[in-house]
Structure 1
Amino acid sequence: MDGISGTTAMVRAARAGDAGAMDRLYRHFAPVVHGVLLSYVQHADADDLTQDVFETALQRLHELREDAAFPGWIVRIARRAALDAKRRPAPLTGVDTEPASDPGSVEDRFEAERSLRAIRALPEAYRETLVLRLVEGLTGPEIAERTGLTPGSVRVNLHRGMAQLRDVLAQGQRRQGT
């Protein structure tokens, strides 16, 4: 099931208590929720908050007026959860851990963290779409479908975001003298 009609059908079935539909919603939208969260908080916190966002969404699914609005609605819930987490005096986990399966070298992980910090410094629209594309690996059309943005907005956000990211990273390299 893809697209708006697939999402609408999954939401309708989840509202009716279909556990399989709830699982499909989770599998389909978890990368988006995780990516939105990761654009604000540490990796370990984003992992934990992803579960919280889905628990909240499933508890409040009856409040959703239109099934087709689910993508934008769950993104708003994720954004609120991330902003709430940022307001807390300490991170949820207190530690930022990378997945144990990460085979990259220390230098690769350092570079990835530096890039993620640079992405987090960008405006929200660019930050979120870049994380969804570069970290979560979603295509432009997948980002549009799963966030409720138009394909044109996603293309513009990715294009402008990449340009700003290149500038930020280049400035950082100039400051380091490399």
Structure 2
Amino acid sequence: MIAAARAGDAAALEALLRVARPHIRRYAERYCVAQMAEDATQEALWTLYRRLPALRSVAAFPLWLLRIVARICFGLVSPLWRRIEALQDDSQSAAGPDDIELRLDLERAIEALPETHREAILLFYFCELSVADTAARLGISREAVKVRLHRGRALIRDRLAGPIPAEEAS
């Protein structure tokens, strides 16, 4: 089936995508942030479709596919972790409960964004697309992307800052 799909057989390619999807999804659920697993699955299927002819050996397909999913998952998640880790104290050697809470708070803040801002934030920061590529993917101008990123960051910052407790406000 893989060889036929590589050769351009549309039916074999469709069957391969259908068979591979549950495996991709299971791997994405394990290595991606839960809410990003479906996006990672779709991106992996798209990459599989585009890059299958470049596969050198049919025997390498399972590992090749898992590496695609891993790169996508880590591409979606790693910029988030890098930004969170930059906020950590340098003296802290292991991730503590506060780090996990910060990561969860950031994830919730991103999920709470309006869809237009969330899409721009995810494409720019997590998929690491340029402003121009993000604009092309969303079908909007570069200026509109910059506005959405600015407003999205402000909303995330406000949500992470949260309300000031009464004793600190005085």
Task: Indicate the TM-score class for this superposition, using the shorter chain for normalisation.
Answer: 0.3 to 0.5
Higher helix share: 2
Relative contact order (C-alpha < 8 Å, sep 6+): which is higher? 1
Q: Which has the larger radius of gyration?
A: 2
